[in-house]
Amino acid sequence: MDEEIRIIDEKTRNEKIKNFFLNNKKNILSGVIILVLTILSFYSFQIYKKSQREQLSEKYNRAIIEYNSLEKSNISSIMKEVIEDKDTTYSPLALYFLIDNNLISDKAETNRLFNILINETSLDYEIKNLIIYKKALYNADDVDENTILDILKPLINSKSVWKSHALYLIAEYYFSKNEKQKSKEFFNEIIINENSNQEIIKEAQKRLNRDLSE
């Protein structure tokens, strides 16, 4: 008797499964097609991204190799294109190359390129903070107090490894303006900040002892 009930239950279950697939075959087929298309789209996009990055790498490296033979304006144009592609590796390298080799003199244009990296490129947290610091360093000699503070605000309010560098830059900025009390405050903040870079602490202490000890 129990065996007969088991057989009946099994047949009933199989029949329900069969009916389910028959009644929902269109939905199931659509789901399978969507899944396959999603997988294909994902891998196609990955292949496209890899291809684009290889082209970007080739463009950047070719410009570096041909630096001495190409017109400087051509190099500058190529590097700007690389920056505007918003690649996490080559875009920052391209901006550094432009600045280090004095290939761009327009401050407004350079800051525009900095902003592309800072605001529009998906950089690692500390890489982004490094670029913010470099932007402040680039502008430090030509901007007013509010501007330099505004640039460095994300670092000052963070626990970034670049925070002490930012504080040191501001302290030196005030020192150069002969605003010694403000300078001293930022040097002291470096020293009391437990995450400050040790070399930066030493330099801050030297400045305090030598020039701000009164």
pLDDT digits (tens, 9 = 90+) for 71-104: 777 889 999 999 999 999 999 999 999 999 999 9
Position 156 in a domain: yes
| 63 lies in some domain | yes
The model's confidence at residue 43, banded by pLDDT at 50, 70 and 90, is very low
| Domain termination residue (choose one: 73, 103, 123) | 123
Closest CA to 143 of 101, 183, 105, 111: 111
Burial 170-196 (b: 16+ CB within 10 A, else e): bbbbbbeeeeeeebbebbbbbeebeeb
Domain that holds residue 52: 25-123
**For position 42, what pLDDT does the model report?**
45
Q: Is residue 2 part of a domain?
A: no
In this model, does residue 121 exceed pLDDT 60? yes
Residue 4 belongs to some domain of the structure: no
The pLDDT, as a whole number, for residue 3 is 55
Query: Is the four-CA dihedral 35, 40, 46, 48 of positive or negative sign?
Result: negative
Q: Is the pTM of this model over 0.85?
A: no
- 131 vs 34, which has greater pLDDT? 131
What's the average model confidence in pLDDT over 37-41? 55
Q: Is the pLDDT of residue 4 over 60?
A: no
Tokens of 211: 């020039």
Q: Which helix (H) or strand (E) holds 134?
A: helix 125-139
In a domain, 93, yes or no: yes
Residue 48 is assigned to a structural domain of this protein = yes
From residue 160, give the alpha-carbon distance in Å to each of 62, 125, 198. 34, 8, 14
User: Do 138 and 169 touch, CB atoms closer than 8 A?
Assistant: no
Chosen domain end from 123, 151, 179: 123
Look at the chain and report how many structural domains it folds into. Answer: 2
Q: Same structural domain for residues 145 and 104?
A: no
Structure letter (DSSP) for residue 179 = -
- Do the domain assignments include residue 146? yes
Among 89, 123, 157, the domain-final residue is 123
Average pLDDT estimate for 57-80: 83
